[in-house]
Structures are given as C-alpha cells and as structure tokens.
Amino acid sequence: MFGTHFYHQRIRKSVAMFGSLFNNLYVLRKNSSGAVISTVRVPLSYSNKDKMLERINIMQEGNTPQHSLAIKLPRMGFEITAITYDPSRQLSKTTNINKAVADSITRRHKIYTGTPYNIGFQLNIYGKTMDDVLQIVEQIIPYFTPQYTVTVKPLSDFSDIKEDVPLVLNSISFSDDYEGTQESRRTIIYTLDFEMKVNFRGPIPDSGTSIIRKVTNNIYNYEAGGLDSDMKIETLTVLPNPLSVNPDSDYGFTTTLVNIVDSA
C-alpha cells in the first residue's frame, strides 16, 4: 500500500493560505491633530517566536557593525505549532467524488473522502508601541467569530473541485517587557493561536477506474424453479444514449426489454 508517490502540497498550500490572510496589514501614524503622517505596511514572515526574539535582542544589544541596524518594528511572524487528527470530522471512507479521465469515455478518477486533520498556527505580532500592535490586532479579530472560512482548490489537477477550510481563532495572549533597562528596546508581543481544519487525500491513479456503461438484468420465472431455473423470460439492457457520451456530460438512456418467451 505504501510506496506509491503522490504529493498534493496540502500543508504547503495551508501555510501559503494562512500567510496570505495577513500580508496586507498597515499601521497609520498620526500627529496631534489627527492627520496621517506615515503609513507603514507590516512585514510578515514564517519564523519561530524564540528565534525572532533572539534576533531582536542581538540587534539591539550588539555593538559590531553587522548588529548596528535593528529589526524594523512592527512586524509579524507565524509558524505551525501542531498537526493533530480530528475524528469528529471523519466521513465514511466509501464517500467519493468521480471525475472523468481526459480523452477517455470508459474510465474515471475516483477521489475518496479526505482524512481530517487540524493544523495549529501561531501568529506573533511584534511592536515597540502599544498603539501599533493594537492597530494590527483590531484589523484581524473582527473577522473571526471565532471562525473564518476560506474556499480553496485542494487538488492542483482538478481545479473545479473546491473545499471550504475553516480557520478558528482559539486564543489571544500578550506580553510586554517594559521592565527592561533604559538601553533595552521595548518589545510588545501579541500571540494569536489558530486552528485550521484541512483534509488530506491519498493517491489518485492517473489512468482512473473503469466506468459501468452497460447494465443487463436477466429475469427468470421463479415459480418454474427459482433463481436456479433455466427458464429466463426477459432480459433488460440499459445503455447510455448516445454511446459515445462523456461521463461528465448530460445524457439519457436507451432501455431494451427482450421478452424471451415471445421471441421464442
């Protein structure tokens, strides 16, 4: 079973989708009269919280030339914190989606229901003033009640298949190292923990599986010996109309009923 290579880029696409939600946030700076004097786009990166704090501390404490320029604040960083199975969303394994194989009228792709997992994301917002950080936070949380749903295309080869992916905001926490020395740079951090509900799918054979294009039902005289009797009285045959129809097209059926007794 294992060893068949497939790669739907599900985790990679989840990271890209999460980052795209927060990559266009701005902080406005105003003067005492309320006029906007500058607009700052908040940088976003995939980064570990501890590594980012270590980098901020090195930049502010170092005295060598390579440490003379501090990291620009405000900024945001996010990372995956956990991937866990979600049994509450598991559907029947026999549930599937059928898609026709290109240039074939006899085979189809069978895409089975996905395996549900929850991907934990942590978004950290760094700032040197409380107003900067609060501007960013208040541009995010109104959209989560506590869930925000994004529609994605989970399979690159099947662009018409779409899936709703809920993103849940579970908690918000913050820290402020205002008790540092005068030489230390103040860093305010708001941490938002999210949970993304995704489905992982297995391999999809390129050749697909065979399609049933003809159904034949033989009817026997039960009173003359039951199902083991050789007395067949009718044959019912069903075929698609036209015979060359594509599985994804609209079509009818041709039903042929042959009365064995009358034809004899």
pTM to 2 decimal places: 0.74
Residue 1 CA to residue 6 CA, distance in Å, equals 12
pLDDT for res 68: 45
Percent of the chain with pLDDT over 70: 84
> Is the pLDDT at 65 greater than 50, yes or no?
no
pLDDT digits (tens, 9 = 90+) for 68-117: 445 678 899 999 999 999 999 998 888 877 777 777 777 777 888 889 99
Find all residues with CB under 8 Å of 9, minimum gap 6, and list them: 156
Query: Could you give the C-alpha distances from 60 to 40, 53, 180, 261, in angstroms and in order?
Result: 21, 11, 12, 97
Greater confidence (209 vs 225) lies with: 209
pLDDT, tens only, 169-212: 999 999 886 655 545 567 889 999 999 999 999 888 766 677 78
In this model, does residue 246 exceed pLDDT 70?
yes
Domains delineated in the chain? 10-200 (3.30.2000.40), 214-263 (no CATH)
| Cα–Cα distance for residue pair 20/67, rounded to 1 Å | 30
- How does pLDDT run across 123-141, given as a tens digit for each residue? 999 988 899 999 999 999 9
Q: What local confidence, expressed as pLDDT, does residue 67 receive? A: 46
